[in-house]
Amino acid sequence: MTPVTNGRLLFNAYPDGLPQPGKATRYDGSQTIDPDTVPLNGGFLIKTLVLSIDPFIVAKMRPKTPGASLLAYTIGEPIEDYGVGVVLRSENPAIKAGDHVYGVQGGAYPFAEYVIANDATQYRVLEKKDKLHWSVYVGILGMPGQTAYCGWKEFSKAKKGDVVFVSGGAGPVGSLVIQLAKMDGCKVIASAGSNEKVAFMKKIGADVPFNYKTENTADILKKEGGIDIYWDNVGGTTLEAALDSAKLGAKFIECGMISAFTSDPLGGTRNLFTIIPKQITMNGLSVSLLIPKYEEEFYRVVSDLIASGKIQYGEEVIPSLELGGEALLAVLTGTNKAKVVIEVAKE
Amino acid sequence: MTPVTNGRLLFNAYPDGLPQPGKATRYDGSQTIDPDTVPLNGGFLIKTLVLSIDPFIVAKMRPKTPGASLLAYTIGEPIEDYGVGVVLRSENPAIKAGDHVYGVQGGAYPFAEYVIANDATQYRVLEKKDKLHWSVYVGILGMPGQTAYCGWKEFSKAKKGDVVFVSGGAGPVGSLVIQLAKMDGCKVIASAGSNEKVAFMKKIGADVPFNYKTENTADILKKEGGIDIYWDNVGGTTLEAALDSAKLGAKFIECGMISAFTSDPLGGTRNLFTIIPKQITMNGLSVSLLIPKYEEEFYRVVSDLIASGKIQYGEEVIPSLELGGEALLAVLTGTNKAKVVIEVAKE
């Protein structure tokens, strides 16, 4: 009966370099909504609980291009990623009040405290496992976890004893890759950008965790005798070092190239030629294309592994949507501690 | 009984940029050999008939690096590629005088009029098909043809109606790829660097042959609506244009990046990131790794296709080993007309 604030994190301007809070993004508290009476027109009203901050956000901060694979944000509208919320009211028979939903496919859940949705196929109704916070469902049980799981199963062709290198190994994708690789009997080299992250990678099983800011990636890979599988979350000179250290027939899984956003975006991969004499297979990984094949298996297998403690995860909870811009910057520059989620509301 | 000249094309110095004849390579006519009496020590003496000029030659003109996938040449010794010769004498039971042999595995047949060999496993005794000149066995029936055949069969996963782009389409590899793609029911876009080459690509079936020097590759690919398969012989900006025009799930077969030798070698692939959202699979193709799987099938199938005229090929015969340095430069800069072979001797 009483309108409440519907806080939103808006896309404010195309970034020049890194997306600075207050410039590229802007928190807006001017919109109000009455959850009890707002018309749903056959849809459903979601109260947002948690939102994910993932690097792909910055790739959508650009002018709209016809045919582009990632939809660009609209200036003045909320940025989008994945989120979990609780349904307050529903006029859609597939969704009922009290349901917890994960969405939106393609990472289009708007950064707003309240969301009116109408396409139930864009959301998954979650079954909550005991003891797991909803934030887990945008992390290791959400898109990042699916990325790791689907990509590893589809492309790694891992054999026992393979040497695997994971960059960004402390992140939500990389940390699951490390654990899946260990389960397959591989030796795992893993890099991250702080000693705290290195300690986390060691804890979850990495054999050779290292801080790429204080150690030389190429030297480490050389010392370990080359790699059979490279899981790339960063691109740039790390990818070049991996190409130089790849063994014959190596598999490269290209999951992210975050350095393209934080380093010189004009710098290309200078030794891509290496894939020819070494007959390397390089697979670009777009999780949305693999989810139909792996979704049910993923939720079944990984939920159990997490609930039983066989797989561990890290999480850094940001307590307010107003801090979303700072959280994005931290993820892009690596000053975050672990997978960043925004707790928008408690239940 | 009488010694004869054993003309050789020597590796003379590391090239600074393109390998200039007389500098990077040098013809030497000072060595003599007596074919009737030269000691074989259990080996066999080959009189060279034809030699192949392939772009990989320039990649071997560098200091020796331990563990490198391509063996570097030795300064003062002949450069090497593939060749066909006739055996004059043999002390090896696996090879007999009069045999025509193709070798050496890995492209290590020395550029010399006479060669004493001892490892029969490095040579294939050829059965000559009617009407085919021996030069064909270093071209479409040699390493370049094997590269096209093995790579296409192993990596293209071609479906009827797929749009295929072949760069370097008039060369010995590209021209067979065009014809294999047409046999699989694909639409073929193909680029080369002269109108004469464009006419040849049209003759062998390319649907959209074009001269990349007078037309813009990116524009052509865009106009044709994107590509499902890219066969890359050149790398550089052509690869970048192909990435930009690739459809979701496209296959990239990386066969050569000749532009790395002729353009700025420090320029990298700037839009490799594209392989992630488009989930592109990129396969480096090193034919020597695939030959064990396809060799017998290749000789059986492709010999018949050539003999029956169902597959066509182009050839530019250089009449003397002394012109080998110029021939290499022509291949690297694209001023050759078709597959370059050196006719060292007639039978």
**φ, ψ for residue A240, nearest 5 deg:** -60, -40
Instruction: Look up residue B220 and give its two tokens.
Output: 């052509």
Q: Which residues of A touch B156 (CB under 8 A)?
A: none
For residues B347 and B343, what is the distance between their CA atoms, to the nearest angstrom? 10
Q: Which residues of A touch B222 (CB under 8 A)?
A: none
Option in A70, A268, A279 nearest B289 (CB)? A279
Contact B72/A at CB under 8 A: no
Option in B69, B277, B285 nearest A69 (CB)? B277
Nearest residue of A to residue B69 by CA position? A277
CA distance A279 to chain B (A): 4
Query: What interface predicted TM-score (ipTM) does this complex get?
Result: 0.86
B208 and B240 Cβ atoms separated by less than 8 Å:
no
> Residue B247's pLDDT is what?
96
Q: Which residues contact B41 (CB under 8 A, 6 or more apart)?
A: B91, B118
B23 and B12 Cβ atoms separated by less than 8 Å:
yes
> Could you tell me the mean pLDDT of each successive run of 10 residues in chain B, 347 residues long?
93 94 97 97 98 93 78 95 97 96 92 97 86 91 96 98 97 96 98 96 98 97 96 94 96 86 64 92 95 94 92 95 97 92 95
Instruction: Look up residue A290 and give its two tokens.
Output: 């693999």
Q: Which residues of B touch A270 (CB under 8 A)?
A: 266-268
Nearest residue of B to residue A279 by CA position? B284
Domains of chain A: which residue ranges? 4-139+315-343, 143-287
B178 and B201 Cβ atoms separated by less than 8 Å:
yes
For residues A121 and A171, what is the distance between their CA atoms, to the nearest angstrom? 28
- Cβ B257–A276 below 8 Å, yes or no? yes
Instruction: Kindly state the helix (H) or strand (E) to which residue A122 belongs, with its residue range.
Output: none
Contact B218/A at CB under 8 A: no
For residues A74 and A8, what is the distance between their CA atoms, to the nearest angstrom? 14
Option in B275, B285, B289 nearest A282 (CB)? B275
> Residue B72's pLDDT is what?
92
Long-range pairs of A123-131 with CB within 8 A, sequence gap ≥ 24: A123/A95, A125/A95, A125/A99, A125/A100, A125/A101, A126/A84, A126/A100, A126/A101, A126/A102, A128/A100, A129/A303, A129/A306, A129/A307, A130/A307, A131/A307
Instruction: Look up residue B70 and give its two tokens.
Output: 């391509």
Contact A248/B at CB under 8 A: yes
Q: Which residues of A touch B274 (CB under 8 A)?
A: 284
Q: Which residues of B touch A260 (CB under 8 A)?
A: 273
- Taking only the tens place, the pLDDT of each residue in A314-323 is 999 999 999 9
Angle between helices A143-151 and A287-307 (to 10 degrees): 100
Instruction: Look up residue A28 and give its two tokens.
Output: 């807006």
Which residue reads 């009890």 in tokens? A36
Nearest residue of B to residue A147 by CA position? B276
CATH superfamily of B4-139+315-343: Medium-chain alcohol dehydrogenases, catalytic domain (3.90.180.10)
For residues A292 and A329, what is the distance between their CA atoms, to the nearest angstrom? 31
Q: Which CATH architecture has domain B144-287?
A: 3-Layer(aba) Sandwich (3.40)
Burial track A199-235 (b if 16+ CB lie within 10 A, e otherwise):
ebbeebbbbbbbbbeeeebeebbeeeebbbbbbbbbb
For residues A238 and A250, what is the distance between their CA atoms, to the nearest angstrom? 16
Total residues belonging to chain B? 347
Question: Digits of tens for pLDDT over chain A (347 positions)?
Answer: 689 999 999 999 999 889 999 999 999 999 999 999 999 999 999 999 999 999 989 989 999 877 666 789 999 999 999 999 999 999 999 999 999 999 998 899 999 999 999 999 999 999 877 678 999 999 999 999 999 999 999 999 999 999 999 999 999 999 999 999 999 999 999 999 999 999 999 999 999 999 999 999 999 999 999 999 999 999 999 999 999 999 999 999 999 887 765 555 556 888 998 999 899 999 999 998 999 999 999 999 999 999 899 999 999 999 999 999 999 999 999 899 899 999 999 98
- Taking only the tens place, the pLDDT of each residue in A160-210 is 999 999 999 999 999 999 999 999 999 999 999 999 999 999 999 999 999
For residues B233 and B174, what is the distance between their CA atoms, to the nearest angstrom? 7
Counting DSSP H helices and E strands in chain A, the numbers are 9, 19
Option in A268, A275, A284 nearest B280 (CB)? A284
Nearest residue of A to residue B261 by CA position? A273
Q: Residue A281: name the closest of A246, A235, A238 by CA.
A: A246
* Strand-pair partners of A115: A46
Q: Which residues of A touch B237 (CB under 8 A)?
A: none
CA distance B11 to chain A (A): 22
Contact B69/A at CB under 8 A: yes
Option in B248, B249, B272 nearest A269 (CB)? B272
Q: Which residues of B touch A283 (CB under 8 A)?
A: 275, 279-282
SS3 B191: strand
Q: What type of residue sits at position B187?
A: K
Residue A72's Cα: distance from chain center in Å?
A: 17
Q: Which residues contact B271 (CB under 8 A, 6 or more apart)?
A: A268, B240, B243, B244
For residues B316 and B335, what is the distance between their CA atoms, to the nearest angstrom? 11
For residues B24 and B40, what is the distance between their CA atoms, to the nearest angstrom? 31
Contact A255/B at CB under 8 A: yes
Phi-psi map region of B75: left, alpha, beta (phi>0 left; psi -120 to 50 alpha): beta
> Residue A98's pLDDT is what?
96
- Cβ A283–B282 below 8 Å, yes or no? yes
* Strand-pair partners of A246: A227
Option in B249, B256, B272 nearest A276 (CB)? B256
Q: Which residues contact A311 (CB under 8 A, 6 or more apart)?
A: A140, A176, A179, A302, A305
Contact B283/A at CB under 8 A: yes
Q: Which residues of A touch B150 (CB under 8 A)?
A: none
**Count of other CB atoms within 10 angstroms of residue A65:** 10
Q: Which residues of A touch B260 (CB under 8 A)?
A: 273
Q: Which CATH architecture has domain A143-287?
A: 3-Layer(aba) Sandwich (3.40)
* Strand-pair partners of A26: A10
Nearest residue of A to residue B244 by CA position? A68
Instruction: Look up residue B90 and give its two tokens.
Output: 């043999």
- Cβ B284–A283 below 8 Å, yes or no? no
Cβ burial, residue A314 (10 Å; 0-12/13-18/19+): buried
> Residue B221's pLDDT is what?
97
SS3 B159: coil
A178 and A169 Cβ atoms separated by less than 8 Å:
yes
> Residue A130's pLDDT is what?
66
> Residue A269's pLDDT is what?
87
> Residue A68's pLDDT is what?
66
Option in B266, B278, B286 nearest A284 (CB)? B278
Q: Which residues of B touch A167 (CB under 8 A)?
A: none
